């Protein structure tokens, strides 16, 4: 059972690391999981002395604290709360299994 607990803690640490890494890559802390990123750039035209804003959308997958949509699908489990919830659920189960073995 100790090996299972260690695996659960390692899984939780990996998920938290993924959220921190994705938040850094996205440019801000991510609350809801994202599947695209909008990049805006100001372009200054010296000839006409005007400034325009160029926007570009980059497709990708960034993990957030909560699912990005409210539909039930496999992609809705791709969030920090869901993955850590699964880890905590397995930790509680192993706690009760260990407790029964001691009794």
Q: Are 59 and 48 in contact (CB under 8 A)?
A: no
Widest distance between CA atoms in the chain: 83
**What does the pLDDT look like over 7-22, one tens digit per residue?**
878 887 888 888 888 8
Average pLDDT, the chain: 80
pLDDT of 47 over the 70 cut: yes
Instruction: Say how many CA atoms lie within 13 Å of 102 toward its Cβ.
Output: 7
- pLDDT the model gives residue 73: 63
pLDDT of 25 over the 80 cut: yes
**What does the pLDDT look like over 57-89, one tens digit per residue?**
888 777 787 777 666 666 666 677 777 777 788
Alpha-carbon span 35 to 26, nearest angstrom: 11
- pLDDT the model gives residue 79: 74
Alpha-carbon span 20 to 80, nearest angstrom: 10
């Amino acid at each position: 059972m100790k090996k299972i607990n260690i695996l659960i803690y390692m899984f939780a640490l990996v998920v938290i690391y993924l959220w921190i890494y994705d938040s850094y890559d996205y440019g801000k802390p991510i609350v809801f999981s994202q599947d695209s990123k909008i990049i805006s750039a100001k372009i200054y035209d010296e000839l006409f002395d005007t400034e325009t804003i160029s926007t570009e959308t980059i497709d990708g997958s960034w993990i957030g604290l909560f699912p990005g949509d409210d539909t039930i699908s496999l992609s809705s489990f791709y969030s920090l709360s869901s993955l850590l919830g699964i880890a905590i659920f397995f930790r509680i189960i192993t706690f009760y299994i260990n407790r029964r073995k001691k009794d």
